[in-house]
């Protein structure tokens, strides 16, 4: 039987963190499974958790009237979801829906905030990791916005 600390250790987000830090964070974590169609988070609802996706696909969605759910991004094993728990008012901006059975490890937002306040050094390390991923997501969103395969950029010699 793997402990929460073991599972944290396996996830790329925590790669390279000291064993003692993982042990320190483990008490915030719980192992959970979402079935296809379950929501990990709902838009405009309390953002109580930080999710580490271990396996399975998750869609980050919003609902467009007359059109239905619009998927902005899919996530999979190795990815993370959610940083709304970091800042007041701790409200999710998007839906996160399991597209298939999802094994996840979720860490309580409040618990994680308290740990980071207690250990600012670890807190800063985690913050850097969040910031890097947030930057990547922002870049991706910008590229998506460019519509690079659209008529203005189409056009390879083919």
Partner 1 sequence: MDYRLQASDLECLIQAIRNKGYLLYGPTLIDGAITYGEIHSVSNLPQGWTDDQQAGQYRVMRRGDKAYFGYAVGPHSWKKYLQLPRRPVWKVAKQNQAIEIIEVQETVPKQAFLGVRSCELHAIAIQDRILSQGDYRNESYRQRRAQLFTVALNCTSAADTCFCTSMNTGPEVTLPSDLTMTEMIEGREHFFVISGGSEAGTKIMEKLPLRPISEGERKLAKERVERLAEEMRRGPRHFDSSDLKELLYRNLDSSNWEKVADRCLSCANCTMACPTCFCSTVEDTTDLSGEHAERWERWDSCFTADLSHISGGSVRADTRSRYRQWMTHKLASWHDQFDSSGCVGCGRCITWCPVGIDLTEEVRTIRALDQKQVRNQEKP
Partner 2 sequence: MIPTVYRVSERSVEYPGTFTLKLEAENPEPDKLPMRFAPGQFNMLYAFGVGESAISFSGLGSDDGNLIHTIRAQGNVTRALERLKAGESLGVRGPFGIGWPLHATVGREVLIIAGGLGLAPLRPVIYAGLLGHLAAIRVRLFYGARRPSELLYREELAQWGQQLNLEISVDHGDGTWPGHIGVITDPLQAAQIDGANSVAFLCGPEIMMRFCIQVLLRKGVPASSIYLSMERNMKCAIGLCGHCQWGPNFICKDGPVFCYEDIRPWLQIRSL
Q: How far is the CB of 44 from partner 2 (least distance, A)?
A: 20
Q: Cis omega before residue 107 (within 30°)?
A: no
Q: Which of 103, 115, 123 is nearest to 10 (CA)?
A: 103
Q: How far is the CB of 157 from partner 1 (least distance, A)?
A: 9
Judged by beta carbon distances under 5 to 8 A according to partner kind, the member of partner 1, partner 2, none in contact with residue 16 is none
Handedness of CA 156, 142, 14, 124 (dihedral sign): positive
d(CA 111, CA 11): 19
* 127 contacts partner 2 (rule: CB under 8 A): no
d(CA 79, CA 55): 9
Q: How far is the CB of 149 from partner 1 (least distance, A)?
A: 11
119-158: which residues touch partner 1 (CB under 8 A)? 151-155
* 135 contacts partner 2 (rule: CB under 8 A): no
- Which residues lie near partner 2 (CB under 8 A)? 59, 68-74, 76, 78-79, 97, 99, 136, 139-140, 143-144, 146-151, 153-158
């Amino acid at each position: 039987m793997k402990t929460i600390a073991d599972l944290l250790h396996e996830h790329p987000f925590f790669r390279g963190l000291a064993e003692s830090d993982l042990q320190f964070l483990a008490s915030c974590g719980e192992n959970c499974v979402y079935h296809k169609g379950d929501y990990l988070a709902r838009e405009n609802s309390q953002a109580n958790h930080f999710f580490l996706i271990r396996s399975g696909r998750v869609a980050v969605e919003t609902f467009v009237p007359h059109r239905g759910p619009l998927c902005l991004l899919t996530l999979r094993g190795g990815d993370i979801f959610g940083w709304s728990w970091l800042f007041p008012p701790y409200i999710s901006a998007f839906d996160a829906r399991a597209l298939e059975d999802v094994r996840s490890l979720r860490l309580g937002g409040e618990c994680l905030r308290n740990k980071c306040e207690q250990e600012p050094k670890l807190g800063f390390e985690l913050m850097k990791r969040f910031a890097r991923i947030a930057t990547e997501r922002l870049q991706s969103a910008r590229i998506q916005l460019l519509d690079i395969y659209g008529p203005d950029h189409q056009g390879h010699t083919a």
